[in-house]
Structure 1
Amino acid sequence: MANGKVIVAGVSIILVVGVVIGTVAVVSNNNSNDQLKTHNKAVDSLCQNADDKKLCYDVIGNVNTTDPKDYVSEVVRKTLDSVIKAFNMTDTLSVEHGQSNPGMKMALEDCKDLLQSAMHELEASINLVTENNFASVYQSSAELKNWLGAVIAYQQSCMDGFDTEGEKKVQTELQSDSLDSVGKLTGLALDVVSGLSHFLNGLGLNLNLKPASRKLLEVDNEGFPTWLSAADRKLLANIDNVKPNVVVAKDGSGQFKTVLDAINSYPANFQGRYIIYVKAGVYDEYITVDKRCKNLLIYGDGNTRTIITGRKNFHEGTKTMRTATFSSNADDFIAKSIAFENTAGAEGHQAVALRVQGDRSAFFDCAMRGYQDTLYAHAHRQFYRNCEISGTIDFIFGYGTTLIQNSRIIVRKPMSNQQNIVVADGTDQKNMPTGIVLQNCEIMADAALYPDRLTVRTFLARPWKAFSRAVFIENNIGDLIQPQGYIPWNPPTEANTDNCYFAEFGNTGAGANAGARAKFAKGLINKNTAAKYLAEPWIQASTWVPATGISYDAGFIKA
């Protein structure tokens, strides 16, 4: 059986690496000088790819070990310490400044929540490293980088929340005393995990191991995670036959009249998939799915009939993160056949329709409708299929690892003094496994924009952070896209253009000609390079997307 082969292969790798690492330790222990050389060689290998080599040596240089997972553990522990310090500082700043104005209060409260989430990611990372041998840790490097990337997302989001001049002073204090350290140490942790292969090569251990998600060893021969019941698979494969746990209906024909009440009915310590059916209707409410509500499936009667709507916006005093009509912080969240809207309009500026933070989140046949900042792909791995995403400025943005397939990307008409940008990615460290990938989508003008599509300037992306990443594969790109394709974050300055990665492969349509793209963009890439951004390497799709019941394209569609 295929499943048996996967497990045996994984066990073999563990045994081989265990024996080799054990041999290195034994040889080193025979001679203290040899041990020191081995230690120094290991540290050199792990630090050679670090942005801040001095910090790397300072953190792991004194770790007396020949087991590389101990180096990983040390840097993650130091990172956790820095997050705890930052969390405690937000407490202090809340007492000192929290009542000065509503914006400051919101920003500090959001920081506390985000840093608490960062602690959970780092605790999970420490547990993975300490409870497994080196081979398992190496095999789980995608998972580790996923969690560490989320920590950077939370650290950056915390800083994003301070907007006004008065708030900037508190931001600077928080940043210089703790958040900068969080960013540097998390970046170092990403560098060290990314450098594990250098460590093996440095010791002459070319074992041809390929890092993968830890969950890959838990997938059965049908491609489903082993924890998923047979009944759940059938339900997810055919939504028409799903028997929901609860039904939402505005007319009172279900157990609940609001979506929020249905989500809040999620039982404590629930096991399995909790299913909520939302009947056709317009639900004017603001919803946050708590992280305890794992494996939640919410589905409606179609994205033109079941609509969750709101209009919170930055222009009227709400922080961007809090403008979201619908937010999901829970892992393994699925939404099907439903729409998420923010109707604040272009004049509302930042106004999020959907914010997604939980890992392994999937959306099928959904609509995200707004103007600026419509879809906030906040953190972790996210998959969108057969969706409609509309907006104006940076309307697909965030810090997550996002793949959007077979969807319609609809550019709307902005205010007269505005221009449109489809993607603004927040990758802030070179080894963050994050970015936004669009594959086999149609990038098109909304009906209201269409007559002016050639005069209202529209771009594919701009670099929000230092290592912003946006990749466009096999899309049909309309003539509304400017020939240069990309612009700096805040022209005429060239901020964030040195290390951003904007790339294209196999696109068609009048806007796909990459000959005049901005000089700081990567431009056209070859097929082998583009393959790095397909479903499996990019979001480890085979380890979780089959469990959603949503089909996906594992490879190229047209090439």
Structure 2
Amino acid sequence: MEAIRQLRGYGKVNSDEDRAIRRDTKQRLLFTSVSVIVLLTVTIGLTIAAFSAKEDDTYNSYPNQPPDFAPSLSDMIKALCSVTSYPDLCHSTISPVNGSDIPNNPIEIFKMSLRATMDEIANISYVISTLNFPLNDQRLGLAIKDCSELLDSAIYWVNNSISLLNSKPLIDFTVSDLRAWLSAVVTDQESCLDSFDGTSSSVKDKLQDAMEKSTKLTINSLAIATGILGILQKLNFRMHGRKLLAVREVEFRRRLYLLRDPTRLAPNVTVAKDGSGLVRTISEAIHLAPQRSDVPFVIHAKTGVYHENVIIGRNKWNVVLIGDGMNKTIVDGRLNFDDGTPTFSTSTFAIDGKRFMARDMGFQNSAGPQNHQAVALRSSSDQSIFYRCSFQGFHNTLYSHSLRQFYRDCDITGTVDFIFGDAAAVFQNCTIRPRQPLPGQESTITAQGKKDPNESTGFSFQGCTISSYNDNTTVAVYLGRPMKNYSTVMVMQSNISAVVVPKGWTGYTVGSVPPDTATYLEFKNTGWGSNVAGRVNWPRYKKASTEDAKRFTVDSFLNASEWISETGVAFKATLN
């Protein structure tokens, strides 16, 4: 467990420059003559500093209350657990027998819940390591490998959540990060179980039983993160965001300077199949990227079809991949479910490192519809951006797995569930082209996988065009079906051709009744397929209002105007 606790936090800021400035200031003051003016200035400065220190006392101040006021420990625990789905488990997790071990601070109590979650997920990792399987069972072996990696990812994001609470006070930006990361922890555990589809049911059942507690603890922690600002307000617990805003402004300006227009950046590495670049494969270029870099590492991949499977690891940050055009620079793979590979590992191109960006690239899986699940690209990269990219495949083309993602001017083709996963993803000005599936299959564009109502995930399509891959598409095409109970999709301001049937949406299996909690919305769409008169009569399907639609814009849904604008990629922040 010590290794887990030593994981580095997300986005910590180096303070060397601040210390240097303070040192220089002190040296100048030593040589300043003593005078009434200086004394007055120092006095005023000390007064301001004392006031600022008082303002920044984020965690231990209770405004409008007598000096000896503080909510009781039981009040804090009750308030935190009241918003959870499993309150009894919440109380038992953060109410040890020795009450003196519990800090009298709701933020610290919240961190106790997160640590308990991380420890329980680590226990599941141990259970995975003890599983025995026949050496000739390729699918089961790969499933165990995928599950182990997903649990490592879950631990990583819980640890980052704790680090964030240690370093920054709570405001809306912080809560947005916490919800995105803890939603990913829910998704990682669910994907771990999904990896065992098509394997021995006894192994999956054993693992599902072992994961029950970790899943519930994660859902509880996510619920607390979602309601934390209201909880602190209810407890009259002081919140202040000036310090965080200053930190974010420094980070933002640094990256804005470096990456506002990637076309002006000379590539760090050029990839060319003909040997005219530094390396011949994209994987080699990724290997050269530094670990945890705060500045962009730019890779230019020249025209060509690169037959390789690329993985960008969790510690490869700020990788920028630029091709010569979505139909000119293409990464192609053929891994698929039918050859014994779990869906998660079929990806031709997979990204785990944060703030990845691809521009003018093509990603495809050419396994064909007969091989079923075959992913062209999987993104588990927080704040990832895809600009003028194509994603070509059939069943499960684009795996928007988790965290926050933005797609602009992209081309996406496929047959069954060809945009799927549990990310918070916005697709703007993209062309969505369903194609002919296998006989007996229907074409479904989305299969969004939101499991818990507090997850900040879903798919939003704004200003897109949905049309047939070619005129030979004769099967029924649906906008989507619910992969999990809280599946959430918005289609707005888009042109929907007649390829989409009047019903619009369908259950996950033929004839099945979808969960009442699945949310499907449409807003001001055009085209022959946009008429909602014949749409499904589901409890949470509706023709959306303007207020509904505003919740699914880049500004509201991704809180992303900052991290998209710093890349120079065009985007629409609102409905207008």
Q: What TM-score bracket applies, with the shorter chain setting the length? A: 0.7 to 0.9
Q: Residues 254-278 of structure 1, C-alpha deviation per residue, up to 9 Å, x if partnerless?
A: 1111111121122456552111111
For 2:458, the aligned partner's letter is G
Distance verdict in 2 for CA 1:386–1:139, change over 3 Å: closer
On the 8 A contact 1:149/1:433 being kept in 2, the answer is yes
Distance verdict in 2 for CA 1:293–1:205, change over 3 Å: closer
1:125-144 equivalences in 2 (<5 Å): 125-132=161-168, 135-136=169-170, 139-144=173-178
For 2:147, the aligned partner's letter is C
Match of 2:492 in 1: 473
On the 8 A contact 1:479/1:510 being kept in 2, the answer is yes
For 2:435, the aligned partner's letter is R
On the 8 A contact 1:384/1:403 being kept in 2, the answer is yes
**1:22 deviation in Å?**
7.1
1:71-220 equivalences in 2 (<5 Å): 71-93=109-131, 96-97=132-133, 99=135, 101-132=137-168, 135-136=169-170, 139-164=173-198, 166-177=199-210, 179-203=211-235, 218-219=248-249
Distance verdict in 2 for CA 1:157–1:234, change over 3 Å: closer
Question: Is residue 2:564 matched to residue 1:545?
Answer: yes
On the 8 A contact 1:68/1:196 being kept in 2, the answer is no
Question: Is residue 2:486 matched to residue 1:486?
Answer: no
Distance verdict in 2 for CA 1:491–1:201, change over 3 Å: farther
For 2:519, the aligned partner's letter is Y
Match of 2:254 in 1: 227
**1:173 deviation in Å?**
0.6
Distance verdict in 2 for CA 1:151–1:539, change over 3 Å: same
**1:516 deviation in Å?**
2.7
Report SS of the residue matched to 1:544: helix
Distance 1:538 1:326 in 2: 26
Q: Residues 212-263 of structure 1, C-alpha deviation per residue, up to 9 Å, x if partnerless?
A: 996785236xxx8123263x23542xx2x43111111111111111111121
On the 8 A contact 1:390/1:411 being kept in 2, the answer is yes
Match of 1:3 in 2: none
Structure 1 stretch displaced more, 305-314 or 541-550: 541-550
Match of 2:408 in 1: 385
Equivalent of 1:508, from 521, 526, 531? 526
Identity %: 30
1:23-422 equivalences in 2 (<5 Å): 26-28=67-69, 35=71, 38-61=72-95, 64-93=102-131, 96-97=132-133, 99=135, 101-132=137-168, 135-136=169-170, 139-164=173-198, 166-177=199-210, 179-203=211-235, 218-219=248-249, 225-228=252-255, 230=257, 232-233=258-259, 235-236=261-262, 239=263, 241-267=264-290, 270=293, 272-422=295-445
Distance 1:542 1:365 in 2: 18
On the 8 A contact 1:141/1:212 being kept in 2, the answer is no
**1:490 deviation in Å?**
1.8
Report SS of the residue matched to 1:226: helix
For 2:565, the aligned partner's letter is P
Distance verdict in 2 for CA 1:351–1:24, change over 3 Å: farther
**1:412 deviation in Å?**
0.7
Q: Residues 416-464 of structure 1, C-alpha deviation per residue, up to 9 Å, x if partnerless?
A: 21001111111111101111111110011111534x2xxx111111110
Distance 2:284 2:520 in 1: 42
Larger radius of gyration: 2
For 2:68, the aligned partner's letter is V
**1:52 deviation in Å?**
2.0
Report SS of the residue matched to 2:255: coil
Distance verdict in 2 for CA 1:555–1:104, change over 3 Å: same
Q: Residues 504-532 of structure 1, C-alpha deviation per residue, up to 9 Å, x if partnerless?
A: 11211121122332222421121112111
Distance verdict in 2 for CA 1:212–1:522, change over 3 Å: farther
Give structure 2 stretches of 5+ with no counterpart. 1-51
Distance 1:79 1:256 in 2: 42
Structure 1 stretch displaced more, 311-320 or 376-385: 311-320
Distance verdict in 2 for CA 1:258–1:100, change over 3 Å: closer
On the 8 A contact 1:320/1:350 being kept in 2, the answer is yes
Distance 2:569 2:104 in 1: 44
Distance verdict in 2 for CA 1:219–1:204, change over 3 Å: closer
Q: What is the TM-score with the length of structure 2 in the denominator?
A: 0.85
Distance 2:228 2:294 in 1: 36
On the 8 A contact 1:143/1:214 being kept in 2, the answer is no
Report SS of the residue matched to 1:490: coil
Distance 1:360 1:382 in 2: 5
**1:373 deviation in Å?**
0.4
Question: Is residue 2:535 matched to residue 1:517?
Answer: yes
**1:130 deviation in Å?**
3.1
On the 8 A contact 2:59/2:238 being kept in 1, the answer is no
Distance 2:65 2:399 in 1: 47
Match of 1:5 in 2: none
**1:405 deviation in Å?**
0.5
On the 8 A contact 1:42/1:202 being kept in 2, the answer is no
1:15-26 equivalences in 2 (<5 Å): 15=56, 18=59, 20-21=61-62, 26=67
Distance 1:14 1:384 in 2: 40
Distance 2:242 2:470 in 1: 44
On the 8 A contact 1:401/1:538 being kept in 2, the answer is yes
On the 8 A contact 1:382/1:402 being kept in 2, the answer is yes
Report SS of the residue matched to 2:252: coil
For 2:128, the aligned partner's letter is T
Distance 1:15 1:216 in 2: 12
Distance 1:398 1:329 in 2: 14
Distance verdict in 2 for CA 1:340–1:112, change over 3 Å: same
Distance 1:12 1:511 in 2: 59
Distance 1:282 1:431 in 2: 41
